[in-house]
Amino acid sequence: MITFPCAKINLGLNIVGQRPNGYHDLETVFYPVPLCDALEIKYMGEEFPSEVNCDLKVTGNVVNCNEADNLVIKAYNLLAKDYKLPRVHAHLYKQIPSEAGLGGGSSDAAYMIRLLDERFRLNIGKAEMERYAARLGADCAFFISSEPSFATGIGDELMPADGPKGNLDGYHLAIVKPNIAVSTKEAYANISPHKPEKCCRDIVRQPIETWKDELINDFEEPIFNRHPDLAAIKKQLYQLGAVYAAMSGSGSSLFGLFKEEPCHLNTAFANCFTFTAKL
Ligand X SMILES: Nc1ncnc2c1ncn2[C@@H]1O[C@H](COP(=O)(O)OP(=O)(O)O)[C@@H](O)[C@H]1O
Contact set with ligand X (CB under 6 A)? 63-65, 69-72, 92, 98-106, 108, 184, 249-250
Q: Which is nearer to ligand X, 138 or 240 (CB)?
A: 138
Angle of CA points 152, 252, 29, to nearest 5°: 25
Q: What's 235's DSSP letter?
A: H
Stretch that binds ligand SUD, among 76-84, 118-126, 138-146, 203-211 (CB under 6 A): 138-146
CA dihedral over 20, 104, 32, 208, signed as positive or negative: positive
Tell me if 188 contacts ligand SUD by CB under 6 A. yes
* Of 12, 32, 97, 137, the one binding ligand SUD by CB under 6 A: 137
> How near is the Cβ of 49 to ligand SUD at its closest, in Å?
33
Task: Single out the catalytic residue among 108, 139, 156, 218.
Answer: 139
Q: Tell which residue, 25, 8, 14, has the closest CA to residue 216.
A: 14
- From ligand SUD, ligand X, none, which one binds at residue 63 (CB under 5 to 8 Å depending on kind)? ligand X
Contact 167, 208 (CB under 8 A): yes
CA dihedral over 194, 110, 203, 170, signed as positive or negative: positive
Separation CA 110–CA 129 (nearest Å): 8
Tell me if 10 contacts ligand SUD by CB under 6 A. yes
The reply to whether omega before 252 is within 30° of 0 (cis) is yes
Task: Report the Cα 169 to chain-centroid distance in Å.
Answer: 19
> How near is the Cβ of 182 to ligand SUD at its closest, in Å?
8
Q: Which residues are catalytic?
A: 8, 139
Which residues of the chain form contacts with ligand SUD (CB under 6 A)? 10, 13, 22-24, 26, 28, 101, 103, 106, 137-140, 154-155, 184-185, 188, 249-250
